[in-house]
Copies of this chain bind each other. A is one copy, B any other.
Amino acid sequence: VSSGAAGRRAGSPDTRSEILEAARDVFAQNGYDRATIRAIARTAEVDPSLIHHYFGTKDQLFAASIDIPIPPVEALRSAFSEGDGQIGRRLAETFFAVWEQEEARASLLGILRSAMGGEDQAVAAFRQFLSSALLENIAPMIPGEDGRLRALLMASQLVGVALTRYVMTLEPIASAPVGEIIDLVAPRIQSYVDEALG
């Protein structure tokens, strides 16, 4: 076992996928909040620094473990940081950039489906991830007591489009060019922020 661990530690092609597998296990067992890079490293029999090297932060590792190609927290932070009335557009563009990729879409549909079917560990981890990693990062950027609620309503608009476009495939939303959807949705999302800004 120790030579195998040493082999993985050197960064063999399998190391990444073994880390991802360990991450999925630990996130599912402990939830997103209580899972640590250290525990994932122990499970994968690698050094924690190697995980940081490959995947970055915990939220990036989580995103990679569920096949989401864009680092969500960073994308959200940069969507908000410019604060130029284009927050709604950048959020919508980021959201659909992920959903329009086939692999990510399959993964997200899987999560949405399990979420609907009832409580399962992976879903609970995903919900914690949404709460801790995403919501905690967006909500403070929306002023007012109802910042978190507004952030979730913005997310609800996007998730609702995912449901009608990708899951229920209702026409004409299923076949509309994604750019047309973004043009229509972005101002609504923006207005949640603008209203809070006063």
Contacts and interface: CB of A to CB of B under 8 A. Distances in A.
Interface of A: 112-113, 115-117, 127, 130-131, 135, 146, 148-150, 152-153, 155-161, 163-164, 167-168, 170-173, 176, 180-181, 184-185, 187-188, 191-192, 195
A180 B116 contact: no
Contacts of A185: 153
Nearest to A150: B184
Given A187-B191, A188-B191, A172 B149 contact: yes
A163 B161 contact: no
A192 B180 CA distance: 13
A173 B170 CA distance: 26
A181 B157 contact: no
Contacts of A171: 131, 148
17 contacts: A112-B116, A115-B168, A117-B117, A130-B168, A130-B170, A131-B171, A148-B172, A149-B172, A149-B173, A149-B176, A149-B184, A150-B184, A152-B170, A153-B184, A153-B188, A158-B160, A160-B160
A170 B159 CA distance: 13
